[in-house]
């Protein structure tokens, strides 16, 4: 026995020493550290589970992504991100091999190859006026010329070949005065049925020839009560709608070429009903579903047009479309929430009493919320019975596949819609941490070493190799959950559109914790919660390391400016919501103040739409600190619609019916009104409040010294001619100009103004230290330009002696006031730039010592690192010897794009270029950088 133990220990020692270390070599600096792809909240899904080929589900999302997912693992086979204005209307699969997507209100139809996502064809469908968009794809998989795809959009009906996208014929229905609501072609028929409304009072039905679009028949009948707008399909000759009051169901029958209406009050079907009913947009056959408050009622239309309630369900979260499982039999899925479980039921459309499937799955509603959508798919079990799998979309925008009562896989696709981010320091590593606290348990420890042994002996399968990689990443130096010496390792606190907060580790991008915020969930008090921003709330320093840092998350209940606000305080280590308040007053602006209380909580001013300032945290200590610093609190607001800048200060406590010691009235200090006939505000940028400036002095040639004008109150404002606010090329150079300002936000004084004639936006700018760089379009040269402005303090011109600076004999410590007229000079220069830009950011370090680099996200989805020295306004064509020794680069008319400075190029799995919608710059540091775009997140090592 003792010998066996020795052999086992020697084996473990061999395994531990034989695995190579996972580290970053010098030539790997600048390479991608981690990369994640997401698709967003799914709104359409089509399953493809034929025996030949991989089983997959094709989805489209609210982030305008079309993607093919592996049905076994949930991985992305391929994906395409459409433009921000190219909203996907519907998707389907044609001929069993093409993914068909209709977008842009029915004006663009695309086909992609199902296996690899390569585009097959693209058709542009012109229309006469905006209308509902409809897509009808034939179910036949035979490759024939008459596989016609029907598209209604822009008031026109188009017939398109599914093979090559050719428009076969076009019929404009708006000339007949109808807006189609439903479009279908019975199997094997040459007649197309289109039904819709003439206004809101008349129902119309069209019969068209499928081969040439010829109008065969048109019937219309007025309904005196008027319709609410939606029409639901029941059978090919029976439809239902709600009247204008949403209290009466209207059965519409088309028989013998005549249209007839039959009305049924909702209260006759469901007793004690009050309010308004809503017909669910589910595609069921023979029945339809109506939501009445929290109750969903399934109603059947009898042969004589009467309505008959066949089932009622309470607490229903989602209903799927009908799925054909056999000849004449269709099944749909039903999801119900109850406690900590969700119940999945598969029901037969023509026999609601029979359930083909009943399953219950444990689900933490506090982590994922309620179910929003469900899509079902069937398969044949070994005993020849029908089995079902369900793809469900949760409240937090995550995607889950349920099968046989278990969650097969899940995807955190809420990360495709990040709206704000903050950072949090990791805890300090403590000495004496035992192995038991590091490893989960002995079994996990042994399992990890056995996997490593299999990898060394080349016996590992792909799943084992993936597990080994995860273990290496988890145990590597950059993936530790403790703070490193240089501060490279951090937590990214990410807020998504769903109101969920994620903590991502910058080392490997893993999700450390996630939290669906209680304050940002739909409730009776907050019907439409909308997340806004994340702010640092509590950042403990070294003398308070026993306290965990926390963040402040703000949101509001609705989309209007005067919607009530909500806020949450979240522990960034534990991922727990410490406190939440709301609904509160409205939130028009948030002012993080540079003051903290004894517990390191940062003070914030929340400005409402009535220009009242509300202090948080609401504690006596915070109030005392604020009152002491009251004279030094200033802020500004931008009224872009009215082209007005205003400066504000606190006046006194609010005079309200209910006394509030933490509410303060404000006063306007100054205002700048730009002439509306010549200038329109398009961009404003200011410095980051937490930016560190290492030195105010800049030593130039021949030991001369220039002093940076460092002020946190400086604001960069860009305005353009009103005609130049449109797209590039929409205005002539003579009608376009760009004016930029540097404005002191305490006094409203304009420190610098420059005009670029013949230029227009969009303008992207970044402000750091005493300089600002901005990007715009030069209409005269038909090229993009980047300009730089540096501002220097002339009041310290007497301190040009470097020895005085070294010996401390200078007046740099003398107070500077915005009210004393500054003596400043500016230096500026403009350069041509070959790329259009989505965003610009600047690198930063803890001490501000390292030289600055601009990180430029281009329209081509590249990230360029551009040395700030190329944007030095002092560059000359022939620099002197002293300027060369200083590192001055000779002047050129354009900025160079060096291939080595392209630190990121985004490609998909097939090396076909992806075109994500927009870049959202997150926190970018010298040692690490983050850039998130819709559907994609990644971290770059910029050490």
pLDDT, tens only, 339-365 = 778 888 888 887 777 788 888 888 877
Mean pLDDT of 858-863: 79
Residue with tokens 């979260």: 317
Q: Helices 442-456 and 2-18: crossing angle, nearest 10°?
A: 60
| Mean pLDDT value of segment 835-857 | 86
Residue 657 confidence (pLDDT) above 80: no
| Position with higher pLDDT, 487 vs 20 | 487
pLDDT band at 439 (very low <50, low <70, confident <90, very high): very low
How far lies 883's CA from each of 355, 380, 704, 790, 801, in Å? Answer: 83, 78, 12, 18, 18
- State the pLDDT at residue 303: 78
Cα distance between residue 612 and residue 435, in whole Å:
54
454-479: pLDDT as tens digits: 777 777 777 777 777 766 666 566 67
Most confident range, picked from 200-214, 280-294, 409-423, 883-897? 409-423
Q: Count Cβ atoms below 10 Å from residue 214 Cβ, excluding itself.
A: 11
What does DSSP assign to residue 649? E
Higher pLDDT, 366 or 359: 359
**759 Cβ contact list (under 8 Å, min separation 6):** 720, 736, 737, 738, 776, 777, 778, 779, 780, 785
Max mean pLDDT among 382-386, 428-432, 502-506 falls in 502-506
Q: Which of 219, 179, 223 is nearest to 199 (CA)?
A: 179
Q: How confident is the model over 229-288, as pLDDT tens digits? A: 788 888 888 888 888 888 888 888 888 778 888 888 888 888 777 777 888 888 888 888
Most confident of 140-144, 537-541, 811-815: 537-541
Q: Single out the residue of 933, 667, 696, 910 nearest to residue 793, CA to CA.
A: 696
pLDDT tens, 658-674?
Answer: 888 889 999 999 999 99
In this predicted structure, the answer to whether residue 498 has a pLDDT above a threshold of 50 is: yes
Is 80 exceeded by the pLDDT of residue 18?
no
- What pLDDT does residue 471 have? 67
| 534, pLDDT greater than 90 | yes
Confidence of residue 938 (pLDDT cuts 50, 70, 90): very low
Please tell me which residue, 486 or 295, carries the higher pLDDT value: 295
pLDDT at residue 649, rounded to an integer? 92
For residue 935, the tally of other CB atoms under 10 A from its CB is 26
- Length of the chain measured in residues: 943
* Mean of the per-residue pLDDT values of the chain: 81
Higher pLDDT, 5 or 683: 683
In angstroms, the CA 645 to CA 637 distance is: 6
Q: How many CA atoms lie within 13 A of 312 on its CB side?
A: 10
User: Hey, what are 775's tokens?
Assistant: 């990007």
Can you point out the beta strands (E) in 709-823? 714-720, 737-744, 750-757, 759-768, 771-778, 783-793
- At residue 455, the pLDDT reads 73
Return all residues near 754 (Cβ < 8 A) that are at least 6 apart. Answer: 739, 740, 789, 828
| Structural contact between residues 219 and 207, judged by C-beta atoms closer than 8 angstroms | no
More confident residue, 32 or 20: 32
Buried b (16+ CB within 10 A) or exposed e, 533-555: bbbbbbbbeeeeeebebbbbbbb
pLDDT value for 428: 79
More confident residue, 288 or 939: 288
How many Å apart are CA 882 and CA 852, to the nearest integer? 22
Q: Is 220 helix (H, G, I), strand (E, B) or coil?
A: strand
CA distance 868 to 667: 40
Residue 656 binned pLDDT confidence (cut-offs 50, 70, 90): confident
673 CB neighbour count, 10 Å cutoff: 12
Per-residue pLDDT, 9? 43
SS3 12: helix
In this prediction, residue 297 carries a pLDDT of 87
Closest CA to 615 of 598, 600, 630: 630
- Mean pLDDT computed over 746-759: 92
pLDDT classification of 513: cutoffs 50, 70, 90: very high
| Spatial CA neighbour of 419 closest among 938, 61, 934 | 934
Least confidently predicted of 84-88, 109-113, 255-259, 648-652: 255-259
In whole angstroms, give the CA distance from residue 343 to residue 87: 32
% of residues, the chain, pLDDT over 90: 26
* pLDDT over 50 at 27, yes or no: no
pLDDT beyond 60 at 922: no
Q: Which of 55-64, 595-604, 694-703, 731-740 comes out lowest in average pLDDT?
A: 694-703
What are the start-end ranges of the E strands in 49-97?
56-61, 65-70, 76-81, 88-94
| Reported confidence tier of residue 566, pLDDT bands at 50, 70, 90 | very high
Q: What angle do CA 698, 712, 888 make, to 5 degrees?
A: 25
* pLDDT-wise least confident of 94-108, 268-282, 782-796: 268-282
Burial of 291 (0-12, 13-18, 19+ CB in 10 A): middle
What value does the mean pLDDT take over residues 159-175? 86
Q: What is the pLDDT of residue 888?
A: 82
The per-residue pLDDT for 924 is: 31
Q: Structure pTM?
A: 0.83
Give CA–CA dist 233/238, Å, rounded: 7
Residue ranges in 485-634 assigned as alpha helix (H): 620-628
Residue 198 to residues 52, 142, 256, 301, Cα–Cα distance (Å) = 46, 37, 21, 24
Helix (H) or strand (E) holding 804: helix 802-807
Q: Are 526 and 582 in contact (CB under 8 A)?
A: yes
Give 570's pLDDT tier (boundaries 50, 70, 90). Answer: very high
Averaged pLDDT for residues 630-644? 89
Q: Can you give the three-state secondary structure of 229-283, one letter per residue?
A: EEEEEEECCEEEEEECCCCEEEEEEEECCEEEEEEEEHHHHCCCCCCCCEECCCC
Give Cβ neighbours of residue 108 (< 8 Å, ≥ 6 apart): 86, 102, 122, 123, 124, 125
Read off the pLDDT of each residue in 374-388 and give the average, rounded to a whole number. Answer: 85
Query: Over 60: is that where the pLDDT of 390 sits?
Result: yes
List, for residues 178-201, the tens digit of each pLDDT value. 788 888 888 777 888 888 888 778
Give the Cα separation of 819 and 796 in Å (integer).
17
Distance of CA 358 to the CA centre of its chain: 35
Instruction: Quote the pLDDT of residue 878.
Output: 86
Which whole number is the average pLDDT over 20-26? 38
Across the range 904-923, mean pLDDT stands at 36
Q: Which pLDDT score, from 0 to 100, does residue 109 have?
A: 93
Cβ-based burial of 359 (10 A; exposed 0-12, middle 13-18, buried ≥19): middle
Label residue 30 by pLDDT band (50, 70, 90). Answer: very low
- pLDDT for 434: 40
What integer pLDDT is reported at residue 802 of this predicted model? 55
pLDDT higher than 70, residue 431: no
Give 571's pLDDT tier (boundaries 50, 70, 90): very high
Weakest-pLDDT range from 355-359, 363-367, 680-684, 833-837: 363-367
């Amino acid at each position: 026995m003792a010998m066996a133990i020795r052999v086992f220990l020697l084996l473990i020692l061999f395994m531990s020493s034989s695995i190579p270390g996972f580290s970053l070599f010098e030539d790997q600096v600048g390479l991608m550290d981690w990369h994640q792809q997401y698709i967003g909240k799914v709104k359409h899904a089509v399953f493809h589970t034929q025996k030949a080929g991989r089983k997959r589900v094709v989805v489209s999302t609210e982030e305008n992504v079309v993607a093919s997912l592996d049905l076994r693992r949930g991985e992305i086979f391929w994906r395409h991100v459409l433009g921000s204005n190219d909203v996907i209307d519907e998707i389907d699969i044609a001929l069993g091999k093409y993914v068909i997507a209709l977008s842009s209100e029915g004006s663009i139809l695309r086909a992609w190859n199902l296996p690899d996502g390569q585009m097959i064809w693209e058709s542009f469908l012109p229309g006469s006026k905006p209308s509902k968009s409809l897509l009808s794809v034939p179910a036949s998989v035979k490759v024939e010329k008459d596989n016609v795809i029907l598209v209604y959009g822009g008031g026109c009906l188009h017939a398109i070949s599914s093979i090559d996208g050719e428009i076969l014929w076009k019929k404009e229905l708006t000339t007949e005065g109808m807006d189609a609501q439903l479009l279908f072609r019975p199997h094997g028929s040459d007649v197309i049925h289109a039904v819709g409304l003439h206004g809101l009072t008349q129902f119309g039905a069209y019969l068209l020839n499928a081969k040439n679009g010829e109008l065969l028949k048109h019937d219309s009948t007025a309904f005196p009560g008027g319709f609410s707008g939606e029409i639901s399909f029941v059978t090919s000759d029976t439809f239902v709608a709600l009247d204008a009051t949403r209290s009466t169901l209207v059965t519409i029958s088309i028989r013998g070429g005549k249209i007839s209406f039959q009305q049924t009050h909702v209260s006759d079907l469901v007793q004690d009903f009050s309010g308004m009913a809503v017909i669910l947009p589910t595609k069921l056959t023979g029945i339809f579903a109506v939501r009445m408050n929290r109750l969903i009622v399934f109603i059947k239309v009898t042969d004589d047009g009467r309505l008959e309630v066949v089932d009622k369900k309470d607490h229903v979260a989602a209903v799927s479309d009908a799925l054909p499982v056999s000849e004449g039999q269709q099944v749909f899925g039903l999801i119900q929430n109850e406690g900590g479980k969700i119940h999945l039921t598969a029901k037969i459309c023509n026999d609601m009493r029979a359930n083909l499937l009943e399953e219950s799955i444990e689900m933490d509603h506090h982590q994922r919320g309620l179910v929003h959508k469900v899509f079902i798919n069937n398969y044949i079990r070994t005993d020849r019975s029908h089995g079902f799998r369900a793809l469900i979309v949760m409240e937090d925008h995550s995607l889950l596949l349920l099968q046989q009562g278990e969650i097969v896989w899940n995807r955190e696709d809420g990360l495709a819609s990040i709206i704000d981010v903050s950072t949090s320091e990791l805890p300090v590593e403590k000495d004496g941490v035992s192995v038991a606290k590091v490893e989960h348990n002995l079994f996990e420890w042994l399992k990890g070493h056995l996997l490593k042994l299999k990898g060394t002996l080349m016996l590992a399968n792909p799943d084992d190799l993936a597990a080994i990689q995860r273990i290496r990443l988890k145990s590597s130096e950059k993936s530790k959950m403790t703070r490193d010496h240089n501060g490279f390792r951090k937590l990214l606190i990410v807020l998504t559109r769903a109101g969920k907060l994620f903590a991502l580790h910058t080392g490997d991008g893993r999700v450390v914790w996630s939290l669906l915020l209680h304050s940002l969930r739909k409730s009776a008090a907050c019907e439409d919660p909308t997340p806004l921003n994340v702010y640092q709330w509590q950042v403990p320093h070294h003398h308070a390391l026993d306290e965990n840092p926390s963040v402040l998350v703000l949101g509001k209940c609705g989309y209007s400016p005067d919607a009530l606000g909500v806020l949450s305080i979240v522990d960034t280590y534990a991922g727990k919501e410490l406190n939440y308040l709301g609904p509160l007053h409205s939130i028009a602006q948030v002012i993080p103040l540079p003051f903290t209380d004894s517990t390191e909580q940062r003070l914030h001013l929340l400005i409402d739409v009535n220009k009242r300032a509300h202090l948080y945290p609401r504690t006596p200590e915070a109030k005392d600190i604020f009152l002491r610093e009251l004279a030094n609190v200033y802020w500004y607001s931008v009224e872009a619609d009215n082209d007005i800048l205003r400066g504000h200060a606190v006046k006194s406590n609010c005079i309200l019916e209910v006394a509030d010691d933490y509410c303060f009235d404000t006063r306007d200090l100054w205002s700048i009104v730009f002439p509306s006939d010549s200038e329109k505000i398009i961009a404003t940028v200011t410095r980051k409040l937490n930016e560190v400036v290492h030195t105010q002095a800049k030593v130039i040639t021949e030991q001369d010294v220039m002093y940076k004008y460092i002020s946190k109150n400086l604001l960069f404002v860009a305005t353009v001619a009103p005609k130049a606010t449109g797209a590039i090329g929409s205005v002539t150079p003579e009608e376009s100009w760009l004016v930029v300002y540097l404005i002191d936000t305490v006094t409203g004084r304009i420190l610098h103004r420059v005009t670029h004639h013949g230029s227009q936006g969009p303008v992207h700018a970044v402000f750091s230290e005493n300089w600002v760089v901005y990007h715009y379009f030069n209409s005269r040269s038909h090229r993009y330009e980047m300009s730089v402005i540096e501002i220097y303090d002339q009041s310290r011109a007497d301190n040009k002696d470097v020895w005085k600076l070294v010996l401390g004999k200078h007046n740099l410590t003398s107070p500077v006031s915005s009210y004393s007229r500054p003596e400043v000079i500016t230096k500026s220069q403009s350069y041509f730039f070959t790329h259009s830009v989505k965003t610009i950011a600047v690198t930063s370090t803890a001490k501000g010592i390292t030289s600055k680099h601009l990180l430029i996200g281009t329209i081509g989805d590249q990230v360029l690192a551009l040395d700030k020295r190329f944007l030095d306004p002092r560059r000359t064509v022939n620099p002197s010897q002293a300027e060369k020794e200083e590192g001055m680069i000779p002047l050129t008319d354009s900025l160079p794009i060096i291939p080595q400075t392209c630190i990121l190029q985004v490609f998909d799995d097939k090396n076909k270029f992806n075109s994500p919608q927009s870049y959202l710059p997150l926190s970018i540091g010298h040692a690490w950088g983050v850039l998130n775009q819709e559907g994609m997140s990644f971290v770059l090592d910029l050490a």
